[in-house]
């Protein structure tokens, strides 16, 4: 399976990655290489194999429903570029 440049640009947009014209070509080749490898893997007969959700053969441990965290707003907001009235400020977003 080969990808064309438009598809690569769409994937980059979804991942919010900027790819320049010159990079686009190389990235397209590299992703196509990965997909070719996957095509190869898909030719293996996996009819009798259960899909694997996680490489570790263990199950999730559960946490008791208790509030264990304290308010750390002041500390955390020192890390943020901008905050006001207790809110984190980000560039304006609208649907």
Partner 1 sequence: MEWETVIGLEVHVSLSTKSKLFSGSSTEFGAEPNTQANIFDCALPGTLPVFNEEALRMAVRFGVAIGAEIGKRSVFDRKNYFYPDLPKGYQVTQLDFPTVGKGALTVTLADGSEKVIGVTRAHIEENAGKSLHEEFHGMSGIDLNRAGEPLLEIVSEPEITSAEEAVAYLKKLHTIIRYLDISDAIMAQGSMRCDVNVSIRPKGETELGTRTEIKNINSFRFVEKAIYSEVERQQEILEDGGRIIQETRRYNADKDITTSMRSKEVANDYRYFPEPDLLPVVIDDEYIAAVKAQLPELPDARKARFMDEYALSNYDAGVLVSSREMAEYYEIVASKSGDSKLAANWVSQDLLGMLNKNNLEITDSPIQAERLATLIARIKDSTISGKIAKTVFEAMITEASDVDAIIEAKGLKQVTDSGEIEKLVLEVIENNPAQVQQYKDGKEQVIGFLVGQCMQLSKGKANPGQVNELLREKMQ
The answer to whether residue 56 forms part of the interface with partner 1 (CB under 8 A) is yes
Of positions 4, 48, 67, 78, contacts partner 1 by CB under 8 A: 67
Which helix or strand (DSSP H or E) is residue 83 part of? strand 83-84
Contact 30, 8 (CB under 8 A): no
Q: Is 84 helix (H, G, I), strand (E, B) or coil?
A: strand
Task: Report the distance separating Cα 69 and Cα 71, nearest Å.
Answer: 7
Of positions 4, 21, 47, 66, contacts partner 1 by CB under 8 A: 66
The answer to whether residue 18 forms part of the interface with partner 1 (CB under 8 A) is no
Task: Report the distance separating Cα 29 and Cα 36, nearest Å.
Answer: 10
- Closest CB 61 distance from partner 1, rounded Å: 7
Residues that bind partner 1 (CB under 8 A): 10, 14, 16, 53-54, 56, 58-69, 71-73, 76-77, 82, 84-95
């Amino acid at each position: 399976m080969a990808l064309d440049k438009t598809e690569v640009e769409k994937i980059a947009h979804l991942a919010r990655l900027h790819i320049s014209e010159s990079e686009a070509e190389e990235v397209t080749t590299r992703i196509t290489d990965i997909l070719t490898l996957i095509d190869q893997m898909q030719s293996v007969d996996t009819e009798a194999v259960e899909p694997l959700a996680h490489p570790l053969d263990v199950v999730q441990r559960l946490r008791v429903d208790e509030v264990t965290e304290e308010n750390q707003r002041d500390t955390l907001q020192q890390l943020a570029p901008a905050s006001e009235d207790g809110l984190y400020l980000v560039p304006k977003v609208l649907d």
